[in-house]
Amino acid sequence: MSVHFIGPQPEIVGVLDLQGGVHEHLEHLERLELPYRRVKEAKDFENLAGLILPGGESTCLARLLHIFGLVEAIGRHAGRGMKLWGTCAGAILLATQVAGEKNCLGLIDMQIERNGFGSQLDSFHSEALIEAVSPAPIPLTFIRAPKIRSVGKDVKVLLRIDDYIAAAENDRVVVTVFHPELTGCLALHRYFALKCGLHPRSEDVSEDWDTASWMKLARIAS
């Protein structure tokens, strides 16, 4: 069932700013000319069309969500129509089942396994075609990535690789086990913005990006 906003359409994308890769996501949103906000407490959810839960350490993030009372806030705002996107650790937070552990938010019906590839040394780069997202292959960066092992019937698989699912979505949530914010490609950030009902910059500006581009946002925050 589709959820419709009551009143004016929210126009801001938030990035959960408790721990993890926050600035990289903010920089991608800036390049798409989208208004954004760092989300640290319940009042920061005002007028959010979508919220990105970044990569980081999932156990730490789950603990901080509970400490700051944001689990209930995320569930409430998702219920009124706010979309969510979890990358890597963010995907773990959103899953209904986490292998061998208690779940956190439980907003997308899937089973996920932490550190599905092994240690930090097993991180790698690849690329794949995700037809729903872009007509061209998308670069993929996996860092201590989880693996999605199965999904429920209301969840659409966006990318399957070998024996695991790397990207999936339902009506209100997108999850990726890799890090789109660590490449110059804007395709997934644009896809999420469109899911939120927003109007991101349409042309690709990947050629202007380098791995230090987000550092200006880190300096502003400090």
Beta bridge partners of 84: 51, 173
Pairing of β 83-87 and β 48-53: parallel
Is-catalytic flag, 181?
A: yes
Closest CA to 99 of 89, 84, 114, 110: 114
Q: Which of 169, 179, 185, 189 is catalytic?
A: 179
Is-catalytic flag, 23?
A: no
8 A C-beta contact, residue 93 and residue 110: no
Is-catalytic flag, 57?
A: no
Residue ranges with strand state E in the chain? 12-16, 36-39, 48-53, 83-87, 95-98, 108-113, 124-128, 138-142, 147-151, 156-161, 164-169, 173-176
Q: Which of 27, 113, 181, 185 is catalytic?
A: 181
Q: Which of 23, 25, 27, 88 is catalytic?
A: 88
Tokens of 85: 């996107």
Active site residues: 88, 179, 181
